[in-house]
Amino acid sequence: MSSQSPFEEVANPFQTDDIGHTPSTDSIDLPSDRDNGLQNDESGQEATSVATLHQSSTESPTQNRPPPIRTSFPNHAQTNKSEFCCGRDQYLHSGDDTEILIVDAVKTADGAASPYIAYVIRTGNVEARRRYSEFESLRNGLAKLYPTLIIPPIPSKQSLSDYAVKQTKAKEDATMISRRKRMLQVFLNRIARHPILSNEHVFHRFLERDVSWSEVLNSPPLSQLPKNILKAPSHNPVEAASSPAYEALPSPSASQPLRNPDQRFLDSETFTNKFATHLSGSMEKVTRRTMKRWSEYAHEHAELGAVLNAFSLSETGSLQAALEKTGQAVDASYMATTVLLQELEQEWTEPLHEYTQFAAIIRKLLAYRHQKHVQYEMTQDSLEAKRHVLEEYEKNEAEARRLEQALNRGRSAVPETTEEEPGDQEEHEQGPGTSSFASRPSSMSRSRSLPSSSDPPRSRKTSGYGFLSALSYSLHGIMDVDPEAARRSNISKTRDSIGQLEDALHASAQDLKYASSTIQADLDRFQRMKVADLRDMTIAVAKIHREWCQKNLEVWLEAKKEIDKIEPHPNQPPQELVDAKEPGSDESPDTGPSRLNGAH
């Protein structure tokens, strides 16, 4: 039963038929046409500028945002810029084949209590020194500034096992430092070639010589980033403080399901999971086993070459020369295999691990978009619930007004009489034939009216009951609320909440639309980059093996020349006779005694 590749089950959702085309996002019903959402330019093309959406009206001097760039990203950074924020920006967009180099790694203790490794970055004629933790903070800052873009990874930290084995020397491991130099250089160049990230002034300051990175971290825009990235605009999280609507947005979890998911992004999640499983699973395991066996092969050839060279010293003549040449060929094979291991590490193993990290980054990116979609649906639900509550309040208010109008009509129908307090003296003053019942209509009408908290309870003759009555009256005055005022207050508060939720829903809809289009565009750019990189990786592996084979062939041909000089074995037939017996030979073999005697 043949094993089936996981890529055969799910089509690649990142691939588009047209490189410059990005699939449109799902239509979202917006509460209004406010905000500067994705629009079309004067030429009728989709000209939503990702960089323009990143701009802030209250932009600080250190926060230079990129110029307008199309949503469908090209493979390289723009080279047709006319305005530059600094010298590094001008160099990166100079139009030449610019490249950022890490030329050295030095041990220093500048500005720190303990020594550390600083990597020397050369950009044109400018050199800057940055330590690994500063690379890490740069990447984290870019990931927060651009939550809808694929930020390239940096090499992984040292594992606990490395620290346990090497202890204090783990940070000074030459192999680890060399690997970090290469992968950090790839990280910087990927940012420099990104159409959006290459315009970020924070990145430019990272490349400058005399810029304190701690000051950059504590100055805008990095210092203005919110703690919760979900309660900030997707196009520019720094604007969260100036957008109160985002405070009303919920903070959903990444595991919360969607009612109406986008099938394109579901396919992207499925493909990314399979891609990550394939890379971090079978491919990396096979690569590790292959590298291990090549390493063992090299060490065994190193031992074999030493043994053959030592053995040649005990022989003489052509045999000594042949053994020495064979030992040299084995040594040369060891050296060629060592070079092969180094080149495979650089051209195959490291890029493969980098794409494993890319897969994890894309999963986080899709999770962010998923949370934004859940946030939009939750805001919709909250708005509908508030509208339902307002409808109930308004119904209650209408019913209360209807009852009040009915009571007012009832009061107007009953004749007004002078209300007198009942008592023995009043009953005595009444004339014959009169009764205390004459005042009942008025008192009954008064009892039908709404109770008033200003009427104190009737005092009782007992002192204990009087104290309790006074206490009850005080509590009643504190807790009693006018129902009409309470209803109107609730209606006013609910309407305010609905207004805030409407603004929040609009902001969430714009974020979801922007995040969907930008993430899809960057996924398309990543797919083109991945195809080109995998092509270069496979070609590099083929060239590495070809050069290894050529070197081995050359040294073993030289060894064969010395081996051929060794006299034939006495128990073996002459070489001429062996050649004559080969198929296709025109010479007829002569096995007579004269031929054999002549050979001897």
CA trace torsion 556, 559, 565, 570 (10° rounding): -70
Q: What is the DSSP string of 32-67?
A: SS-S--S-B-TTSSB---HHHHH--TT--TT-PPPP
Residue with the bigger pLDDT between 219 and 463: it is 219
Q: Which residues, other chains included, contact 551 with Cβ-Cβ below 8 Å and sequence gap of 6+?
A: 332, 333, 336
Task: Say what the pLDDT of residue 466 is.
Answer: 60
Q: How far apart are CA 3 and CA 55, in angstroms?
A: 50
In whole angstroms, give the CA distance from residue 353 to residue 1.
30
Other Cβ atoms closer than 10 A to 532? 11
Average pLDDT along the chain: 78
For residue 230, what pLDDT is reported? 92
pLDDT of 478 reads 53
- Residues 340 and 545: beta-carbon distance below 8 Å: yes
Where residue 98 falls among pLDDT bands split at 50, 70, 90? confident
Segment 571-587 shows an average pLDDT of 66
- Asked whether the predicted pLDDT for residue 359 surpasses 70, the reply is yes
Please give the average per-residue pLDDT across 229-243, as a whole number.
86
Cβ neighbours of residue 582 under 8 Å, at least 6 residues apart?
none
Mean pLDDT over 568-578 rounds to 72
Question: Confidence band (pLDDT; 50, 70, 90) for 94?
Answer: confident
Q: How does DSSP assign 149-186, residue by residue?
A: S-PPP-PPPPPHHHHHHHGGGGGG-HHHHHHHHHHHHH
The pair of structure tokens assigned to 381 is 């639900």
Identify the residue whose tokens are 């990272």: 206
pLDDT band at 402 (very low <50, low <70, confident <90, very high): confident
For 14-38, the three-class secondary structure string (H helix, E strand, C coil) is CCCCCCCCCCCCCCCCCCCCCCCCC
17: number of Cβ within 10 Å: 5
* First and final C-alpha spacing in the chain: 60
Asked if residues 419 and 439 have their Cβ atoms less than 8 Å apart, the reply is yes
- How much is the average pLDDT of 369-398? 93
Lowest mean pLDDT among 268-272, 439-443, 494-498, 516-520: 439-443
Output the pLDDT for position 61: 36
Give the H or E element holding residue 142: helix 132-145
> Using CA atoms, how far apart are residues 120 and 174, in angstroms rounded to an integer?
16
The answer to whether 148 touches 368, Cβ cutoff 8 Å, is yes
- Res. 386: pLDDT tops 80: yes
pLDDT level of residue 598 (50, 70, 90 thresholds): very low
Looking at per-residue pLDDT, the higher value among 580 and 146 belongs to 146
More confident residue, 455 or 252: 252
Say what the pLDDT of residue 23 is. Answer: 39
| Structure-model confidence comparison of residues 64 and 96, the more confident one | 96
Q: In what order do the strands lie in the sheet with 116-123?
A: 101-108, 116-123, 126-131
145/222 Cα distance (integer angstroms): 8
pLDDT reading at 21 higher than 50? no
Q: What pLDDT does residue 472 have? A: 59
Of the candidates 309, 297, 287, the one whose C-alpha atom is nearest the C-alpha of residue 356 is 287
Task: Report the largest interatomic distance among the alpha carbons of the chain, rounded to a whole angstrom.
Answer: 179
- What confidence tier does 22 reach under pLDDT thresholds 50, 70, 90? very low
Task: Burial-class residue 370 by CB neighbours within 10 Å (0-12, 13-18, 19+).
Answer: buried
What pLDDT, on the 0 to 100 scale, is given for residue 75?
46
What per-residue confidence (pLDDT) applies to 289?
Answer: 94
Closest among 282, 292, 283 to 337, alpha carbons compared: 292
| pLDDT band at residue 409 using 50, 70 and 90 as cut-offs | confident
| pLDDT at position 413 | 73
Q: Give residue 105's identity as a one-letter amino acid code.
A: A
**Bridge partner residues of 40 (DSSP):** 46
Q: What is the pLDDT of residue 457?
A: 46
Per residue in 143-180, pLDDT tens?
999 999 999 999 988 765 555 555 556 567 888 999 99
User: What one-character-per-residue DSSP string does 274-328 give?
Assistant: HHHHHIIIIIHHHHHHHHHHHHHHHHHHHHHHHHHHHHHTT--HHHHHHHHHHHH
The residues facing 105 across adjacent strands are: 119
Range among 58-62, 227-231, 527-531 rated most confident: 527-531
Which residues contact residue 18 at a Cβ distance below 8 angstroms, ignoring those fewer than 6 apart?
Answer: none
Res. 405 pLDDT band, cuts 50 70 90: confident
Phi/psi of residue 375, each to 5°?
-60, -40
Nearest-angstrom CA–CA distance, 163 and 231: 39
CA distances from 316 to 197, 324, 558, 560, 570 (A): 68, 11, 19, 18, 18
Instruction: Give CA–CA dist 467/483, Å, rounded.
Output: 28
Higher pLDDT, 401 or 523: 523
The average pLDDT across 418-428 equals 49
Q: Tokens for 486, please give them.
A: 């309470």
State the pLDDT confidence band at 486, using cuts at 50, 70 and 90. confident
DSSP 131: E
pLDDT of residue 34: 36
Q: Which residues share a beta bridge with 328?
A: none
Cβ-defined contacts of 481-484 (< 8 Å, 24+): 483/400, 484/400
Closest by alpha carbon to 244, among 57, 504, 506, 513?
A: 504
Q: Comparing 118 with 447, which gets the higher pLDDT?
A: 118
pLDDT cut 90: percent of the chain above it: 52
Residue whose pair of structure tokens reads 């490794």 in the numeric block: 117
pLDDT at residue number 218: 95
**pLDDT above 50 for 56:** no
Confidence of residue 245 (pLDDT cuts 50, 70, 90): confident
What six digits make up the tokens of 258? 């969607």
Amino acid at 490: N
DSSP 199-217: G-HHHHHHH-SS--HHHHH
- HEC states along 214-236? HHHHCCCCHHHCCCCHHHCCCCC
By the 8 A CB rule, do 187 and 139 touch?
yes
Nearest to 348 by CA among 191, 199, 535: 535
Q: How far apart are CA 530 and CA 148, in angstroms?
A: 18
| Lowest-pLDDT choice from 310-319, 327-336, 446-455 | 446-455
Taking CA atoms, 371 is separated from 374, 385, 439, in Å, by: 5, 21, 70
| Per-residue tokens: 464 | 């204990």
Higher pLDDT, 362 or 67: 362
The mean per-residue pLDDT over the stretch 346-369 comes to 95
Which three-class secondary structure state does DSSP give residue 569? coil
H or E segment at 117? strand 116-123
Residue 31 has pLDDT above 90, yes or no: no
CA-to-CA distance for 272 and 278, rounded, in angstroms? 10
Per-residue pLDDT band at 567 (split at 50, 70, 90): confident
Q: How many CA atoms lie within 13 A of 54 on its CB side?
A: 26
Q: Is the predicted pLDDT of residue 101 greater than 90, yes or no? A: yes
What is the per-residue pLDDT across 114-143, written as a single tens digit (0 to 9) for each?
899 999 999 999 999 999 999 999 999 999
Which of 16-25, 285-294, 358-367, 436-445 is predicted with the least confidence, judged by mean pLDDT?
16-25
